[in-house]
A and B are shown apart, each in its own frame.
Chain A
């Protein structure tokens, strides 16, 4: 784990320290893999990432309330922009799902994920790292910033990843049914087919166990999806924060600016990727593999008939 002491933030940190520690002792700031606690409510530890997420909720509350109050049939100002974003995003979602019906159901969730992740990512980039607490630890005094990007905490990204994957599976159950969804992971149908078709197609003795194993792989793949979604986002955002801190440590004035721009872009891209992947997972979950295969077989036979004609 890398430990970065940022000397030039110490003065700023002392300025906001309400405890009053005295300037003689050196205050270190570690860039940790985990979110640092800044308070407690009963048993619940409030970390800086949770605090930042509350700010995200507050920002969303203010903006959405403003939209709700000011929304009119003839749009003006912010509503115009919001409508353009919604329309563009819905068209993009349509292209991903390939179905307006699925888009109508999944879009609110994917859009919410995008907004939540985007604001969380961008809040971490804001130069508010100087505001925080100075805590006395066994290694000395340590500076804990109030603001840490919500997505720079694995708890947040893991929660989002789990919600996305579980949501996709629930959506799949609602779309194609429990039995078909169950067969995706535990392919009982493959064995049934094997018993029925073994005389006609002996090769099914090999393909059916493979199909069953593919189902197990699919099940493992669901956990891989959670891991890939959460660690990709966490890794990118955390690395961005470390990069910005490193640049600030080298030269606090000017140097971090291009990297901030880069991180704004990375934050946008990561939010975009997360929401698009969620859309893709939901779309895949809503597709019936058997119907898809039957459709393909029909297409093939039609093509053959046409070729014969």
Chain B
């Protein structure tokens, strides 16, 4: 061991000095180079990852908004269609009611007309009958005045009766 130490000049003082020198190098590299560089690299990685995450979030938000917009649009279309259909139905109902009312009114009017026509007709017939009767009476009177015999009277009376 002694020959080994003397051959290689192993000196514990130099050994410690070199260990201290390496310790200094380690501290310098760790605190002045590795630590700040790693911190910067981490910050950069974080910001890039944050950016990417934000981009993904934004894309998701955009997609969600687009879906919502489309959903709202679709709902609005459905609602508009429903409103339109309801309006249409209401209008048709109203139309139908109006037509029915009109038909009913027309029917009533026709019925009324018919009735008044009927009554007019009856009246006219009555009047015509009365006219005819008065005419017949007058004609008979005139005839009786012109043919004043008994046979004739009987014959004529019979004819008149037949009439």
Q: Is A121 an interface residue (CB 8 A)?
A: no
Residue total for A at the interface (Cβ-Cβ under 8 A): 47
Q: Which of B9-17, B52-60, B94-102, B118-126 forms part of the interface with chain A?
A: B9-17
Closest 6 CB pairs of A and B: A34-B9, A64-B32, A112-B26, A159-B19, A155-B14, A154-B8
Q: Which of B33-41, B140-148, B153-161 forms part of the interface with chain A?
A: B33-41
Residues of B within 8 A of A (CB): 7-11, 13-19, 21-22, 24-26, 28-30, 32-34, 36-38, 40-41, 43-44, 47
Quick one: which of B7, B32, B44, B47 contacts A67, CB cutoff 8 A?
A: B32
Known contacts A54-B21, A56-B21, A83-B37; A159 and B29 CB within 8 A of each other: no
Residues from chain B with a CB closer than 8 A to the CB of A162 are 15, 19
Residue pairs across A and B with Cβ atoms less than 8 A apart, 17 shown, are A33-B7, A35-B14, A45-B13, A56-B25, A60-B25, A61-B32, A63-B33, A64-B33, A67-B33, A86-B34, A108-B29, A111-B29, A111-B34, A115-B25, A154-B10, A155-B11, A155-B15
Residues from chain A with a CB closer than 8 A to the CB of B16 are 159
User: Do B37 and A155 have beta carbons less than 8 Å apart?
Assistant: no
Q: Is A255 an interface residue (CB 8 A)?
A: no
Number of A-B contacts (CB under 8 A): 117
Known contacts A116-B22, A154-B8, A160-B22; A47 and B28 CB within 8 A of each other: no
User: Do B29 and A115 have beta carbons less than 8 Å apart?
Assistant: yes
Can you list, as one digit per residue, whether each of A154-175 has a CB less than 8 Å from chain B (1) or not (0)? 1110111011000000000000
* Residues of A47-81 contacting chain B, CB below 8 A: 47, 49-50, 53-54, 56-57, 60-61, 63-65, 67-68, 71-73, 75, 79
Residues of A within 8 A of B (CB): 33-35, 43-45, 47, 49-50, 53-54, 56-57, 60-61, 63-65, 67-68, 71-73, 75, 79, 82-83, 86-87, 107-109, 111-113, 115-116, 150, 153-156, 158-160, 162-163
Residues from chain A with a CB closer than 8 A to the CB of B29 are 60, 64, 108, 111-112, 115
Residues from chain B with a CB closer than 8 A to the CB of A61 are 28, 32
User: Do A158 and B9 have beta carbons less than 8 Å apart?
Assistant: no
Residue in chain A with minimal CB distance to B21: A53
Nearest-Cβ distance from residue B17 to partner chain A, whole angstroms: 6
Residue in chain A with minimal CB distance to B38: A86
Most chain A beta-carbon contacts within 10 A, residue among B34, B38, B47 = B34
Quick one: which of A53, A57, A71, A115 contacts B37, CB cutoff 8 A?
A: A71
User: Do B36 and A68 have beta carbons less than 8 Å apart?
Assistant: yes
User: Do A112 and B30 have beta carbons less than 8 Å apart?
Assistant: yes
